[in-house]
């Protein structure tokens, strides 16, 4: 191992406790999305980053764009560090918004409780951890004094849970950054090279209300919705026959995640609204998937007298597919993961969706890598008792720092 590499590893180790405290402070500030009031977290993150010596750009997202995204407030944070003339610009992207904690926690979800070398808290793995991974990887590069060429940027955003349009999407749209490579938040024991897309649809089933004593004078929207649900679950079974060729991804999925309706116990329901989540494998065309799903919904509605069906797109997130040049990132991450952890880590796909797709769609070679276990389930991501093994945080920071040093070595 070179003297520069060893210096970087030693610096990461020297900042271990500071990095753990940094992550804990981020976990302690709620940034649940929904409702999406994330400015307080952005302010706290910026304060902590400035204490580390970084210059933090605060890009407040306009209120109209925030509201159109179904949120209350969002501010994108950008840090830029130029090491030497020429070279590549490498952006590191993580999101600070998180899903609400929900029920079933054994500890305070905002407590950043540490037990047996594991920190618990909402967002500790997905992906406040990578605020810490990337910040302290960059700090190690700075302190190493290595003769590097190029620049590193941190893109810390707050709308991944609602699609990324006003986070990375806005950063790219406004020309605030034009990176050559992007590493986006991920886990320590694999490099993600592709992932699913996602379609969220709202379906409104409209009937006609009536007194419960004379249901024959109304049109029961809930009864119609049950027929639609049966058809949708039939589709879900048929999706299992559509197989992806990407390792780590199986087949398309569909769930009905929300449903509401009715007026009162003694009234025939006039309207039932539901929201669907349809995951797209990388090989699928998003527009075709949306068209076919809406056609099936409308077919079922048209077969029921007196029923009207309306659909509204909430989100269409395209799958993340590789761009030429991604192999450079992947090879470097795998090489340094082996040096740090002593194991070969795979390059594979995952069935969820992330902000990485936005960078890749802009033609930028992108891969996902960061702090966390082998799978989302291991981390309790989006579930109670979300957790992160702190040793994985340190290992991932070392891998990212060494990767950056290699790519910027000129």
Share of the chain above pLDDT 90, in %: 97
pLDDT of residue 376: 79
Helix axes 390-407, 326-341, angle to 10 degrees: 130
pTM equals 0.91
Average pLDDT over residues 140-148: 96
What pLDDT is attached to residue 348?
A: 96
pLDDT grade, residue 12 (50/70/90)?
very high
Distance CA(340)–CA(247), nearest Å, equals: 24
DSSP for 203-249? EEEE-B--BTT-GGGSB-HHHHHHHHHHHHHHHHHHHTT---SSTT-
pLDDT digits (tens, 9 = 90+) for 285-299: 999 999 999 999 999
Contact 84, 410 (CB under 8 A): yes
- pLDDT at residue number 374: 84
Evaluate whether 246 touches 282 at the Cβ level (below 8 Å): yes
- pLDDT, mean of residues 313-340: 96
The predicted pLDDT at position 355 comes to 96
Residue matched to tokens 């810490």? 132
373-399 residue pLDDT tens:
888 789 999 999 999 999 999 999 999
Closest CA to 190 of 404, 369, 325, 388: 369
Verify cis geometry, omega within 30 degrees of 0, for the bond prior to 34. Answer: yes
Cα(223)–Cα(307) distance, integer angstroms: 10
Using one digit for the tens of pLDDT, what is the confidence trace for 353-366? 999 999 999 999 99
Give dist(CA 227, CA 294) in Å, integer. Answer: 15
Place of tokens 């990485």: 356
Residue 84 forms beta bridges with which residues? Answer: 150
Question: For the chain, how long is the longest CA-to-CA vector?
Answer: 84
- Does residue 133 have a pLDDT over 80? yes
The residue-averaged pLDDT of 92-96 equals 98
Task: Give the pLDDT score at 399.
Answer: 98
Average pLDDT over the chain, rounded to an integer: 97
The partner residues of 387 in beta bridges, in order of sequence, read 120
- Vertex 317: Cα angle to 23 and 277 (nearest 5): 95
Q: Work out whether the CA dihedral 59, 62, 66, 69 comes out positive or negative.
A: negative
Mean pLDDT of the region 289-313: 98
pLDDT level of residue 410 (50, 70, 90 thresholds): low
The CA distance from 96 to 30, in Å, is: 9
Model pLDDT for residues 248-269, shown as the tens digit of each residue: 999 999 999 999 999 999 999 9
pLDDT at position 373: 87
Query: Span 2-20, mean pLDDT?
Result: 97
In angstroms, the Cα distances linking 369 to 87, 182, 357, 379, 389 are 22, 10, 14, 15, 16
- Phi then psi for residue 321, to 5 deg, are -125, 150
pLDDT in tens, 157-216: 999 999 999 999 999 999 999 999 999 999 999 999 999 999 999 999 999 999 999 999
pLDDT at 339 over 90: yes
Structure token digits, residue 312: 């509204």
């Amino acid at each position: 191992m070179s003297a520069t590499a060893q210096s970087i590893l030693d610096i990461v180790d020297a900042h271990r406790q500071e990095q753990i405290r940094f992550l804990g402070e981020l976990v302690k500030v709620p940034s649940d999305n929904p409702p999406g009031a994330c400015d307080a977290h952005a302010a706290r993150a910026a304060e902590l980053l400035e204490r580390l010596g970084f210059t933090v750009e605060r890009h407040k997202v306009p209120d109209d764009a925030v509201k159109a995204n179904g949120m209350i407030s969002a501010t994108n944070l950008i840090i830029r560090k130029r090491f030497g003339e020429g070279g590549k610009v490498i952006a590191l992207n993580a999101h600070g918004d998180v899903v609400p904690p929900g029920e079933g926690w054994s500890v305070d979800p905002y407590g950043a409780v540490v037990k047996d070398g594991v920190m618990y808290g909402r967002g500790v793995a997905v992906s406040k951890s990578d605020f810490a991974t990337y910040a302290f990887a960059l700090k190690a590069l700075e302190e190493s004094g290595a003769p590097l060429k190029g620049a590193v940027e941190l893109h810390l955003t707050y709308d991944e849970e609602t699609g990324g349009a006003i986070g990375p999407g806005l950063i790219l749209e406004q020309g605030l950054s034009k990176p050559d490579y992007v590493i986006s938040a991920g886990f320590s024991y694999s490099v993600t090279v592709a992932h699913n897309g996602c379609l969220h649809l709202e379906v409104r089933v409209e009937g006609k209300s009536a007194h419960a004593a004379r249901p024959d004078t109304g049109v029961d929207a809930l009864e119609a919705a049950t027929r639609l649900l049966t058809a949708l679950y039939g589709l879900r079974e048929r999706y299992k026959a559509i197989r992806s060729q990407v390792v780590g991804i199986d087949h398309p999925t569909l769930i009905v995640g929300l449903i509401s309706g009715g007026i009162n116990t003694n009234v025939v329901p006039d309207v039932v609204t539901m929201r669907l989540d349809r995951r797209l494998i990388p090989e699928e065309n998003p527009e075709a998937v949306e068209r076919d799903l809406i056609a099936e919904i409308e077919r079922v509605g048209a077969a029921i007298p007196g029923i009207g069906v309306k659909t509204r797109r909430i989100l269409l997130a395209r799958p993340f597919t590789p761009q030429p040049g991604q192999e450079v990132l992947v090879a470097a991450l795998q090489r340094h993961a082996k040096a740090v952890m002593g194991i070969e880590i795979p390059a594979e796909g995952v069935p969820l969706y992330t902000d990485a797709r936005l960078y890749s769609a802009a033609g930028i070679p992108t891969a996902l890598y960061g702090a966390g276990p082998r799978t989302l389930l291991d981390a309790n991501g989006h579930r109670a008792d979300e957790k992160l093994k702190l040793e994985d945080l340190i290992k991932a920071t070392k891998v990212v720092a060494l990767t950056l040093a290699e790519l910027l070595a000129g």
